Structure 1
Amino acid sequence: MKEEKSKFVFSISVLLLLIIYGTFSVIYIINGYRSRNVLENRSINWAELYPLDDDNHPSDGSDTQAAGSIFDKYESLPFVNLAERISASDTYRNDLLLGIGAYASSLVSDYSIRNSKVRLTNGYWVQMRSKDDMNGIVDSYIELSAKADALNIPFIYIQTPYKEALTPQNMPWGINNSKNSNIDVFLNKLRSKGINCLDLRNIADTSDNPYSYFYKTDHHWNTALALKASGIISEELKTYYGIDMDTSLMNTVNYKPVTYRQAMFGGAAKEVGHLNEAPEDFTILYPVFDTDFRYINPSKAVDCTGSFADVMIDYTLLDDAISNGGDEVNEVMNYGNCPLVEITNLNYKKGPRILLIKDSYGSTLAPYFALSCGELDLIDPRPYAGNFNGSILNYICKNKPDIILIMQYYPEALPS
């Protein structure tokens, strides 16, 4: 009788545990979808502004567009709130549920392995990739490169650094990440087709603590590594392509670090909550020299002139994060993932006009890289982020950049 009672109590306990696990896991998953801090202030039909013609070829570009005039074209477009921004305070309100959900999940499986994210043995989170077929991705780059060649515009692919390339021994036992090998295949295929590549995967290795160049709770690089990459890219363009880059300002001695305590709570951390991860510090390197930009970001309804500190940073998001337990504040740089941004360096008007086709890594790079350019145009074509859905080739024909750069954390196919 006593034994049957014990079995009954045990069964009820297991059942309750499963109910709790299921409930919080559902909440956990739902909040995972809600907690992205993304807002597009304007609904802009980029495909209408930069269309393909009936033959699926761009216009001849005879109406070449001067930098700075772009905002006038969008000025009359209506504001449309596509989604309510989920602020740091909203996330923090649900944080206990997130944490309990992650803990409940850990009773069945290690919460350090979450969706495509894995926590390394040194506590840093990374994004995982299985083995991918890179052929389709390569084809889209070959196509754009060929069209750039026809326009006599140099074309370079830039591979960003990432944590997984540093010390593979920090990967948890039994976990296989194919990111590095996939990118090796991708770069080799591009080079075999004559496409120039700049591989920055190892630029953090020169530091005694290479992980210090990345966030612990997120896969992105920090401003120090973005500045370093800006210098390397600028020097590469100047030395090997004859592009008139201003490389004199890319040394860290020209910048003052300002640290915002516990402001960064990255994408991986937001999936497991504050019970399981702590916010980390976020540092912006501010130039100590005079800067002057015109910054145009149509989707955020921003057209302003001012210094680096005045125009390059979304202080609303930063203040919100500081007050509410942290957020993905890497997105304060260049206002995060926007479809199209045009930056004119008013202190270096003779400099080159560069088109950078980017992902989220480019948002942190852009404010620093713009210091070495005359004009820097940014396009984010990813449908789930920037969502520039117009014709990149049409944009190139209209604006005639001196060089085209594509920089990505992980290669993604370009839109047709």
Structure 2
Amino acid sequence: MKHRYTITALLFLLLLAGGFVLLVTSFLGREGSFEALLKSVAQDKDVTAFLDQAESAVNEDLDRDHLFIQLYGGVQMLSGRRVIQDMVEDNSVAKLSTGALNFVNLGTQSQPGEDVIARARKTAEFADALEASDIPFLYVAAPQKIQRGAELLPKGLEDNGNAYCDAYLAELKWLGVDYFDLRPLFESNGIYSSWFFSTDHHWKPEAAFFAWQHLAKLMDDRYGFVTPSRFTDPANWNKTVLEDYFLGSQGKRVGSLYAGVDDFTIYTPKFETNLTYASQSGGFERTGPFQHSVCFPERVEEWDWFGGNPYTYYSGGDYGLATMTNHKNPNGPKVVLLRESFSCALAPFLALSCSELTTIDLRSFSGDLTETIRALDPDLVITLYTASTTKLDNMFEFCKTE
């Protein structure tokens, strides 16, 4: 009799937990493992099998749907809280007045000072070292998620990224280093916040395409590297929008209920392309049209907010050193792009302007940067960063200018 009561209690608890999971998985719009198990039991009448599998099914659903993150974010949304603190300071998330998310550092933030001048001078030394080998250098300042002059953060928080970038570019100008500031273009074309994902710190593929259009024009005007206008014409590209498909790095920390999810756009050229994309550190070599070589369709095959990263559809991710060879443009320039994650979305488009585009991500690179670039013998070296002190320091760590 006692054994029977124990089984009954266990069954009741599993059904109670399972009912909660059923509610959540139903809310999230898909059948969970527990729901599938219940249907199987209803058909086979096998209670023993249900008891054997119910606990693991409930646990699988809880893990899969990141239930506790979702519930926590939902509660914070209902309470109107605009800052979600993380154990790691830089990973704390704030909700901007636009409704979008942004990483914030809750520690003390200093205004740009002598460190800006020092880093600009290091950049100038690096550019001079390349110029000694007849290799031109261009620094490209990528736009940041918070627009210059906009007060979007909760009261008491500040972001000095744009102030740092302004000071850094001013010093580069004084030192005679060639640079291109993308921020004014983004500020004067459309709604600035629409260039960025709501739940991620990166720009959207639409923004990367827009940046490429203007970078291609600049490469023509300043360096004589011509990109056929039909390539940069949006009319010659198909756009497929995957709706509610992307939960970015900021959104993954607070769940989809807190600030929603993002659409994700797939660009496919209507014109013929043929590229090879290879990386020894990444362990791959891919040859074929744009959408199967420099893009990774396998990254968007399944909808998975927490486990997937559709942003890596473009370029596949961050690799120490990788090369995109454009077989349709053998007479185009050879370009080296010193990059960070913003360039994931940009590099496949930029490769169409080149015969060969070599990307170097210094977070995963080892070796002497200057000597590596000299061995590649490019026609142009581009650094595209949001002006972050850490990223600039990485560049100086790996280059020797003596």
TM-score, L = length of structure 1 = 0.71
Q: CA deviation at 1:410?
A: 2.8
Aligned partner of 2:299 in structure 1 is: 317
Aligned partner of 1:161 in structure 2 is: 143
Indicate how the Cα distance of structure 1 residues 123 and 104 shifts in structure 2: closer, same or farther if over 3 A, else same. closer
Task: Please tell me the root mean square deviation across aligned C-alpha atoms, in Å.
Answer: 2.6
Q: In structure 2, what is the Cα distance between the partners aligned to 1:94 and 1:249?
A: 41
Aligned AA (1:121): S
- The correspondence for 1:410, drawn from 380, 387, 392, is 387
- The correspondence for 2:100, drawn from 124, 145, 158, is 124
- The correspondence for 1:93, drawn from 64, 76, 97, is 64
Q: CA deviation at 1:226?
A: 0.7
Aligned partner of 2:220 in structure 1 is: 238
| Higher RCO (CA-CA < 8 Å; seq separation 6+) | 1
Corresponding residue SS for 1:147: helix
Q: CA deviation at 1:319?
A: 2.2
Q: In structure 1, what is the Cα distance between the partners aligned to 2:309 and 2:244?
A: 11
Do structure 1's residue 303 and structure 2's residue 282 form an aligned pair? no
Q: CA deviation at 1:265?
A: 0.5
Indicate how the Cα distance of structure 1 residues 109 and 255 shifts in structure 2: closer, same or farther if over 3 A, else same. closer
Q: How does 1:162-177 map to 2 (within 5 A)?
A: 162-165=144-147, 168-177=150-159
Corresponding residue SS for 2:266: strand
- The correspondence for 1:111, drawn from 83, 94, 118, is 83
Corresponding residue SS for 2:125: helix
Indicate how the Cα distance of structure 1 residues 205 and 96 shifts in structure 2: closer, same or farther if over 3 A, else same. same
Do structure 1's residue 400 and structure 2's residue 377 form an aligned pair? yes
Q: Is the 8 A contact 2:140 2:179 kept in 1?
A: yes
Amino-acid identity (%): 24
Q: In structure 2, what is the Cα distance between the partners aligned to 1:391 and 1:246?
A: 35
Q: In structure 2, what is the Cα distance between the partners aligned to 1:127 and 1:223?
A: 20
Q: CA deviation at 1:269?
A: 0.4
Q: Name whichever of 111-120 and 368-377 sits farther off.
A: 111-120
Q: In structure 1, what is the Cα distance between the partners aligned to 2:136 and 2:189?
A: 32
More helix by share: 2
Q: How many residues align?
A: 323
Q: In structure 1, what is the Cα distance between the partners aligned to 2:340 and 2:102?
A: 17
Deviations 1:225-261 (A, max 9, x none): 1111111111111111223444441121111111122
Aligned partner of 1:370 in structure 2 is: 351
Q: In structure 2, what is the Cα distance between the partners aligned to 1:371 and 1:255?
A: 13
Q: CA deviation at 1:134?
A: 2.3
Aligned AA (1:148): L
Indicate how the Cα distance of structure 1 residues 262 and 311 shifts in structure 2: closer, same or farther if over 3 A, else same. same
Corresponding residue SS for 1:286: strand
Q: In structure 1, what is the Cα distance between the partners aligned to 2:181 and 2:166?
A: 10
Q: Is the 8 A contact 1:217 1:266 kept in 2?
A: yes
Aligned partner of 1:390 in structure 2 is: 367
Q: How does 1:12-411 map to 2 (within 5 A)?
A: 93=64, 95-102=66-73, 110-112=82-84, 115-116=89-90, 117-128=93-104, 130=109, 131-132=111-112, 133-165=115-147, 168-320=150-302, 322-323=303-304, 327-382=308-363, 387-411=364-388
Q: In structure 2, what is the Cα distance between the partners aligned to 1:326 and 1:111?
A: 24
Unaligned runs of 5+ in 1: 1-88
Q: In structure 1, what is the Cα distance between the partners aligned to 2:356 and 2:62?
A: 37
Q: In structure 1, what is the Cα distance between the partners aligned to 2:80 and 2:143?
A: 33
Q: CA deviation at 1:162?
A: 2.2
Q: In structure 2, what is the Cα distance between the partners aligned to 1:166 and 1:272?
A: 26
Q: In structure 2, what is the Cα distance between the partners aligned to 1:93 and 1:374?
A: 43
Aligned AA (2:313): V
Aligned partner of 1:84 in structure 2 is: none
Q: Is the 8 A contact 1:96 1:275 kept in 2?
A: no
Corresponding residue SS for 2:256: coil
Q: Is the 8 A contact 1:157 1:197 kept in 2?
A: yes
Deviations 1:196-232 (A, max 9, x none): 1100012223333232221110111111111111111
Q: Is the 8 A contact 1:113 1:119 kept in 2?
A: no
Corresponding residue SS for 1:300: coil
